[in-house]
Structure 1
Amino acid sequence: MAQSDFLYPENPRRRQEVNRLHQQLLDCLYDSFQATNKLIEVLNMHLGCRLDSIEMKKDGTIKENCDIIIRAMTKIQSVLQKVDEALKDKLEPTLYRKLQDIKERETVKIAMVQKIISVILGEATSAASAVAVKLVGSNLTTGIINKLVNVLTQIGASLLGSIGVAVLGLGIDMVFRAILGAVEKTQLEAAIKSYEKHLVEFKSASEKYHHAITEVTNAVKRQMK
């Protein structure tokens, strides 16, 4: 037991809490890597993109891994923006508005897009049209991805950003020293509050991101039956 634990007997429990919250943060990061790679795979296969998959840097910090996801999302947004601009350019204004209308039937949107998708991509498939409809005709690019990028940026800039993602394998004491460098009650409590705040925002943003990607992959599966 550290010397200051005699003065602050709750410190061991707080260390355990830091340990638990750190693992939750890593789980969210890992899930975001997986979801982003799933979206990259869909874009490469159906929209002719050449995006590289991403891999979690196990010897890196939280910030370094947040930055990897952010860079990938920025490239995805650029691709989707180009598709959106092409559709807006090729479609009549009334048809483009239908593409953005959440009340319009998906089958109608796909048929509408498929007529011009060959001009954009060089080929016309219902799967490619479904991807374009799901991604361009939703708020994935402007809303969901932007929110997740913002959360990841905040996490990277916080006191959590400098923590290594593999630090848990070193044991709780090493986790504690890596995060705080001391055993004072106020520092442990500050770390716990930071984890809790960012985890609430991260979980909410990542759940919406995962849900949107699942909708895209399901739409592709329906078209390929």
Structure 2
Amino acid sequence: MAQSDFLYPENPRRRQEVNRLHKQLLDCLADSFHATNELTGVLNVHLGCRLALIEMRREGTIKENCDIIIQAMVEIQKELQKVDEALRDKLEPTLYRKLQDIKERETEKIAIVQKVISVILGEATAAASAVAVKLVGSSVTSGIISKLVGVLAQIGASLLGSIGVAALGLGIDMIFRAILGAVEKTQLQAAIKSYEKHLVEFKSASEKYHQAITEVTNTVKRQIQ
């Protein structure tokens, strides 16, 4: 126990809490890397995209890893926007509006897209049409991905952003190695509050993101069975 811990006996507990929350944040980041790669694979296979897979940088900071996911999501959004613009260009206005109508049946939307998907991609498959319906012009692109991008940007800009991804266990001491006593207490309390705040937002946004991707992959599986 550090000498300052005798004066501030709650500091060791606070360090453990920071360590625990840090692990939770890393788990969420790792899940988002995996989900993004899963979505990338679907887009590459079924919509003819050439998006690169991403990998978590174990020696990087939280901000650097957030930025990697954000950049991948921005590229995904660009590809989906291209497909959306092509659909709007090839479809009659009334049919395109049906794609945006949440009350319209999904099977009907897939049938609409399949009429022109061959012109856009060079071939027509039910799976490609299903992916387009699930992602283009839906809340996945306009809401879910945008929300997660915003949360990741906030985390990167927060005091957590400069903390290394590998900073676990004794590594936490490296974060606060120049801080002792009351100053460390303040920093630890601030870190805990920041982790807790951002984890709530991150978990909520990432769960919706993962759920949307699962729905896409399940739809694709049904189409190719």
Q: Structure 1 residues 55 and 179 mapped into 2: Cα distance closer, same or farther (>3 Å)?
A: farther
Q: Please list the CA deviations of residues 89-147 of structure 1 after superposition, one character each: whole Å capped at 9, or x if unmatched.
A: 11111111111111111111111100100000000000000000000141111111111
Aligned match for 1:177, one of 135, 155, 174: 174
CA distance in 2, matches of 1:126, 1:148: 29
State how 1:140-219 maps to structure 2 within 5 Å.
Answer: 140-168=140-168, 171-172=169-170, 174-179=171-176, 181-183=178-180, 184-219=184-219
Unaligned runs of 5+ in 2: none
User: Partner residue of 1:66?
Assistant: 66
Residues 1:15 and 2:15 aligned together = yes
Aligned partner of 2:53 in structure 1 is 53
Identity of aligned residues (%): 80
> Once superposed, which parts of structure 1, at least 4 consecutive aligned residues long, lie more than 2 Å away?
none
Q: Which runs of 5+ in 1 are unaligned?
A: none
TM-score using structure 2 length: 0.96
Superposed CA RMSD: 1.0
Contact 1:160 1:179 in 2 (8 A): no
Q: Which residue of 2 aligns with 1:92?
A: 92
Which one-letter code corresponds to 2:173 in the other structure?
F
1:208 aligned partner, one-letter code:
K
Q: Single out whichever of 138-147 and 32-41 deviates more from structure 2.
A: 138-147
Cα distance 1:213–1:8, how it changes in 2: closer, same or farther (>3 A)? same
Q: Counterpart amino acid of 2:174?
A: R
1:167 shift after superposition = 1.4
- For the residue of structure 1 that corresponds to 2:116, the secondary structure is helix
Alignment partner of 1:54: what SS? coil
Structure 1 residue 179 displacement after superposition: 4.8
Partners of 1:194 and 1:137 lie apart in 2 by 34
Partner of 1:109: 109
Deviates more, 1:102-111 or 1:181-190: 181-190
Q: Distance in 2 between matches of 1:34 and 1:192?
A: 26
Q: TM-score, normalised by structure 1?
A: 0.96
